[in-house]
């Protein structure tokens, strides 16, 4: 026997290739929708019959095709989107493989009508099992309509493999949603068995999300926006309290293309980690704009996976963007922080001149360490992203000028001349709460929890940036721990060192400490380490937390100034400033509330009830 190898006929080769591209009706829907977008359509309609098994039709008002192109479009590896290999690194279109139409035509009966605006007549083509049955000029609207009938008509095994109509419809809706979410400036409609499923006019992304997922999403969404070198992240996350017990709406897009990315998903989950119960998942709709040269889209035939050249950088930016969004916005819908001069006047007598001080914060300054040198380190400016207008004005305390006030300046003279006469109005309630005016009423801050949050972020920062400062001790301190605890301390040597602990082991359970984190007292070492050991024990039961979070949390809990400490006005102001320079000022590291607002209307109600 010789010469047994033969080239497969095109129709068979296409059918085999089609298996990769078109697994089910939803895959065809995705390809057709993407082609419509690539064609520059501003309006796209999807018609489905019987879960796409008998009909999938996409009608667009895009650029249409000339006579030859219409025919060529069904050839394998026929594409207008790239010409040479280098083009692969600059792809802005959804498609580029030139496989979709060839694949669909191999396994279905296809009818295409297409017309360019500049042509008088369009073309009508019918293709069946890769064979062009007819092509003739016909009158039609500018744009393209492709109807795919009886998918897998010639591949019975595939057809039988399809799931129930409801399952296949769900897949179609999911593909439609992925495309429609990020292409919100294109109008989309979807009709199934002559019933409208979606009617989505061109809109903002927020409106698009609400249109797709329902009216109640309007209040649940928090905007996310972050621009850095070579990267622009924009979209929405669902407020933590609306997170789902099952993986809900998790949508990443890269340059407008839906992707799945476990690593980036982790970045978002991490950003939420303190606020979500361990069995809940965050929801998000986030588009990442990046130079196409920074990605390799080509690694998976159905293209939901993407390789980033610098994934770590994207991870960091994404995580910080989400953190900020949660921190900045979670209070705003219910609370109006705007200054209200009327309230000032009510509490502070005649108002002369309202002036908003710029917030100057020193994250290392401990307002409670009044005995120490007292020299504040250079004022800390909130990171640029946080320094946006909203942030500063939202959280500004009510401030008024006190002409001729003899009080000592809040900020050391050399720092701000102009702030000398300004005093923020704070009260302390039972040495536990700090109270200040906000427009809508009174803001109550739990002083201990606030300090915990401040310290927590400070320690976490040190751990993450590996920049802890150690304070050398005059005399080493020797401490003895039970074997199991000693093991924990040994295993945490690296992060503990980062925090500023300097120690070595002497025998099994003995440790000699020569340095402690800046600001910590010798006498606190044992307590702090016990707290860390305890948290580490608890942590092994809860998987979600990482070691840095655990360490920062325990240190903050242990070192924060407890309720019951009297604070001066200056100290209260400091707490306030530092708290609102935090990423998440409103929740303590353990997830409890730090802040609450008592609305003026509630105060009025209370008084009325009392007088009854």
- If one counts every other C-beta atom within 10 angstroms of the C-beta of residue 3, the result is 5
| Sites for ligand ADP among residues 102-131 (CB under 6 A) | 102
**Closest distance to ligand ADP from the beta carbon of 181 (Å):** 20
Single residue of 81, 149, 202, 432 touching ligand ADP by CB under 6 A: 81
Tell how many helices (H) and how many strands (E) occur in the chain. Answer: 18, 24
Compute the least distance from the CB of residue 296 to Mg ion, in Å: 19
CB-nearest residue to Mg ion: 95
| CB 82 to ligand ADP: min, Å | 8
- Interface with ligand ADP (CB under 6 A), residue total 24
Phi-psi category of residue 58: left, alpha or beta, with phi > 0 → left and psi -120 to 50 → alpha: beta
8 Å CB contact between 379 and 364: no
536 near ligand ADP, rule: CB under 6 A:
no
Q: Of the ranges 31-39, 232-240, 342-350, 561-569, which one interacts with ligand ADP (CB under 6 A)?
A: 31-39
Angle CA 418–377–390, to nearest 5: 55
User: For residue 193, what are its two tokens?
Assistant: 């068995």
Quick one: what does residue 63 bind among ligand ADP, Mg ion, none, with the CB cut-off 5 to 8 Å set by partner type?
ligand ADP
Q: How far is the CB of 79 from Mg ion (least distance, A)?
A: 7
The token pair that represents 127 in the structure block: 């293709």
423 binds Mg ion (CB under 5 A): no
Do 453 and 588 touch, CB atoms closer than 8 A? yes
Closest CB to ligand ADP among residues 55, 205 = 55
Residues 167, 170, 174, CA angle at the centre, nearest 5°?
145
Select the residue interacting with ligand ADP from 35, 57, 123, 226 (CB under 6 A). Answer: 35
Write out the DSSP string of 538-589.
HHHH--S--HHHHHHHHHHHHHSPPTT----HHHHHHHHHHHHTSSSTTB-T
Quote the least distance from Cβ 212 to ligand ADP, whole Å.
22
User: 144 contacts which partner out of Mg ion, ligand ADP, none, CB within 5 to 8 A by kind?
Assistant: ligand ADP
Kindly state whether residue 573 participates in binding ligand ADP, applying the rule CB under 6 A: no
Cβ closest to Mg ion, residue 74 vs residue 503: 74
Place of tokens 């704070």: 426
Q: Report the residue from 43, 54, 67, 80 that binds ligand ADP according to the rule CB under 6 A.
A: 80
CA distance 427 to 424: 10
Q: Which does 159 bind (CB under 5 to 8 A by kind): Mg ion, ligand ADP, none?
A: none
DSSP-based helix, strand, coil % in the chain, nearest 5:
35, 25, 40
Q: Does 212 bind ligand ADP (CB under 6 A)?
A: no
Beta carbons of 264 and 315 less than 8 angstroms apart = yes
Residue range at the interface with ligand ADP (CB under 6 A); choices 91-99, 366-374, 420-428, 503-511? 91-99
Toward ligand ADP, which CB reaches closer, 25 or 62?
A: 62
Please, which contacts does 227-234 make with residues 24 or more away whose CB atoms are closer than 8 Å? 228/317, 230/290, 230/291, 230/294, 231/288, 231/289, 231/290, 231/313, 231/314, 231/317, 232/288, 232/289, 232/290, 233/286, 233/287, 233/288, 233/289, 233/317, 233/318, 233/321, 234/205, 234/286, 234/287, 234/289
101 scored as a contact of ligand ADP (CB under 6 A): yes
- In angstroms, give the least distance from the CB of 62 to ligand ADP: 5
Q: What are phi and psi of 428, to 5 degrees?
A: -115, 135
> How many binding residues for Mg ion (CB under 5 A)?
3
36 interacts with, out of ligand ADP, Mg ion, none, CB within 5 to 8 A per kind:
ligand ADP
Q: Does 37 bind Mg ion (CB under 5 A)?
A: no
Cα–Cα distance measured from residue 72 to residue 74, given in angstroms and rounded to the nearest whole number: 5
Which CB, 57 or 428, lies closer to ligand ADP? 57
Residue labelled with tokens 């000693």: 486
60 binds, among Mg ion, ligand ADP, none (CB under 5 to 8 A by kind): ligand ADP
A 10 A CB-CB count for 605 gives 11
Q: How far is CA 575 from CA 274, 379, 413, 456, 505, in A?
A: 21, 14, 19, 13, 38
Name which of Mg ion, ligand ADP, none residue 385 binds, using a CB cut-off of 5 to 8 Å depending on partner kind. Answer: none
Q: Which is nearer to Mg ion, 95 or 367 (CB)?
A: 95
Q: Is 103 in the site for Mg ion (CB under 5 A)?
A: no
Please identify, using beta-carbon distances, which residue of 27 and 319 lies nearer to ligand ADP.
27
Give the one residue of 22, 26, 28, 39 binding ligand ADP; rule: CB under 6 A: 39
- In the block, tokens 């991870």 appear at 315
202: DSSP letter: S
By CB under 5 A, residue 95 contacts Mg ion = yes
**Least distance to ligand ADP from the beta carbon of 93, Å?**
7
Bridge partners of residue 401, in order along the sequence? 422
**Residue among 100 and 286 whose Cβ is closer to Mg ion:** 100
Among candidate residues 586, 588, 605, 606, the one with its CA nearest the CA of residue 596: 586
Contact 59, 190 (CB under 8 A): no
**Mask for 52-71, x = binds ligand ADP (CB under 6 A):** --------x-xxxx------
Tell me how crowded residue 108 is: count the other CB atoms within 10 A of its CB.
26
Q: Does residue number 100 form part of the binding site for ligand ADP (CB under 6 A)?
A: yes
CA distances (Å), origin 258, targets 177, 220, 250: 10, 22, 10
Site for ligand ADP in 256-295 (CB under 6 A): none
Q: Which residue is nearest to ligand ADP (CB)?
A: 95
Q: Which does 205 bind (CB under 5 to 8 A by kind): Mg ion, ligand ADP, none?
A: none
Q: Is 28 in the site for ligand ADP (CB under 6 A)?
A: no
Residue 100 interacting with Mg ion (CB under 5 A): yes
Q: Identify the residue among 98, 230, 256, 476 touching ligand ADP (CB under 6 A).
A: 98
Give the residues lining the site for Mg ion (CB under 5 A): 35, 95, 100
Give the residues lining the site for ligand ADP (CB under 6 A): 31, 35-36, 38-39, 60, 62-65, 73, 78-81, 95-102, 144
């Amino acid at each position: 026997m010789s010469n047994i190898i033969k080239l497969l006929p095109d129709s068979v080769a296409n059918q085999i290739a089609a298996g990769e591209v078109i697994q089910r009706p939803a895959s065809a829907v995705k390809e057709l929708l993407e082609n419509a977008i690539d064609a520059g359509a501003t309006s796209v309609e999807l018609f489905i019959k019987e879960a796409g098994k008998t009909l999938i039709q996409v009608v667009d008002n895009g650029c249409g095709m000339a006579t030859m192109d219409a025919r060529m479009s069904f050839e394998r590896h026929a594409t207008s989107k790239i010409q040479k290999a280098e083009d692969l690194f600059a792809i802005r279109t959804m498609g580029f493989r030139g496989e979709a139409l060839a694949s669909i035509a191999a396994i279905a009966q296809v009818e295409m009508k297409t017309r360019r605006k500049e042509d008088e007549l369009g073309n009508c083509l019918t293709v069946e099992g890769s064979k062009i049955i007819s092509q003739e000029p016909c009158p039609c609207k500018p744009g393209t309509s492709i109807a795919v009938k009886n998918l897998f008509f010639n591949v019975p095994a595939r057809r039988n493999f399809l799931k129930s109509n409801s399952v296949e419809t769900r897949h179609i809706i999911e593909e439609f949603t992925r495309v429609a979410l990020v292409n919100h400036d294109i109008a989309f409609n979807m009709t199934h068995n002559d019933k409208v499923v979606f009617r989505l006019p061109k809109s903002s992304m927020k409106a698009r999300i609400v249109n797709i997922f329902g009216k109640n999403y309007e209040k649940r969404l928090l905007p996310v926006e972050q621009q850095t070198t070579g990267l622009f992240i924009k979209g929405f996350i669902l407020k933590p309290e609306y997170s789902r017990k099952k993986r809900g709406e998790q949508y990443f897009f890269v340059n407008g293309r839906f992707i799945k990315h476990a690593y980036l998903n982790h970045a978002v989950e991490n950003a939420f980690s303190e606020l979500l119960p361990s069995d809940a998942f965050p929801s998000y709709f986030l588009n990442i704009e990046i130079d196409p040269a920074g990605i390799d889209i080509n690694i998976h035939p159905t293209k939901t996976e993407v390789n980033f050249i610098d994934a770590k950088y994207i991870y960091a930016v994404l995580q910080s963007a989400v953190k900020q969004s949660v921190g900045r916005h979670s209070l705003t819908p219910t609370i109006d922080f705007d200054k209200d001069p009327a309230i000032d006047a009510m509490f502070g007598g005649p108002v002369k001149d309202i002036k908003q001080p710029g917030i100057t914060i020193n994250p290392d300054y401990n307002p409670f360490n009044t005995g120490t040198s007292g020299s504040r380190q250079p004022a800390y400016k909130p990171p640029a992203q946080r320094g946006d207008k909203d942030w500063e004005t939202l959280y500004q305390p009510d401030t008024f000028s006190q002409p001729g006030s003899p009080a000592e300046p809040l900020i050391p003279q050399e720092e701000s001349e102009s702030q000398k006469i300004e005093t923020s109005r704070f009260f302390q309630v039972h040495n536990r709460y700090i109270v200040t005016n906000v427009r809508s009423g009174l803001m109550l801050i739990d002083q201990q929890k606030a300090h915990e949050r401040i310290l927590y972020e400070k320690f976490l920062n040190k751990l993450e940036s590996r920049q802890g400062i150690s304070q050398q001790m005059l005399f080493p301190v020797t401490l003895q721990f039970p074997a199991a605890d000693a093991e924990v301390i040994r295993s945490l040597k690296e992060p503990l060192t980062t925090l500023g602990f300097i120690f070595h082991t002497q025998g099994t359970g003995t440790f000699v400490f020569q340095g402690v984190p800046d600001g910590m007292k010798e006498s606190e070492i044992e307590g702090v380490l016990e707290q860390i050991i305890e948290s580490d024990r608890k942590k092994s039961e809860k998987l979600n937390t990482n070691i840095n979070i655990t360490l920062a949390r325990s240190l903050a809990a242990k070192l924060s100034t407890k309720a019951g400490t009297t604070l001066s006005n200056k100290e209260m102001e400091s707490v306030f400033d530092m708290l609102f320079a935090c990423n998440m000022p409103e929740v303590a590291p353990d997830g409890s509330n730090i802040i609450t607002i008592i609305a003026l209307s509630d105060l009025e109600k209370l008084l009325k009830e009392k007088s009854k």
